[in-house]
């Protein structure tokens, strides 16, 4: 084999390896494109879930605030009822004592 044959063979092998590398590069680029597409889909799903969770949190906070407000009103009503009940019991006791005194004196 002459040196030119060896050189030619080496150049042919280099060209073949180069072609293989180019094909691998094309495949890698395609995989990257597919991965980017999948990532965009995942990002859209995450955005959707995030928006949904945000909306649900706001709705929950509104329901909680409403319930707390209503509870405050209920507590005021209970306080008034207990206050009135305590006054009513006291007035009733005083009236009984007055009646007892009237019976003793009269």
pLDDT in tens, 28-77: 999 999 999 999 999 999 999 999 999 999 999 999 999 999 999 999 99
Question: 0.85 cut: is pTM over it?
Answer: no
Per-chain mean pLDDT for the chain? 91
- pLDDT > 80? residue 12: yes
Nearest to 49, CA basis, from 61, 60, 41:
41
What would the DSSP string read from start to end of 39-105? HHHHHHHHHHHHHHHHHHHHHHHHHHHHHHHHHHHHHHHHHHHHHHHHHHHHHHHHHHHHHHHHHHH
pLDDT at 40: 97
For residue range 60-71, what is the model confidence (pLDDT) as tens digits? Answer: 999 999 999 999
């Amino acid at each position: 084999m002459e040196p030119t044959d060896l050189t030619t063979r080496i150049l042919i092998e280099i060209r073949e390896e180069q072609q293989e590398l180019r094909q691998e590069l094309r495949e890698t680029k395609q995989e990257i494109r597919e991965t980017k597409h999948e990532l965009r889909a995942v990002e859209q799903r995450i955005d959707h879930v995030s928006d949904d969770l945000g909306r649900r949190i706001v709705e929950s906070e509104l329901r909680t605030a409403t319930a707390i407000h209503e509870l405050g009103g209920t507590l005021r009503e209970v306080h008034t009822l207990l206050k009135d009940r305590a006054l009513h019991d006291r007035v009733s006791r005083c009236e009984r004592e007055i009646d007892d005194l009237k019976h003793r004196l009269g």
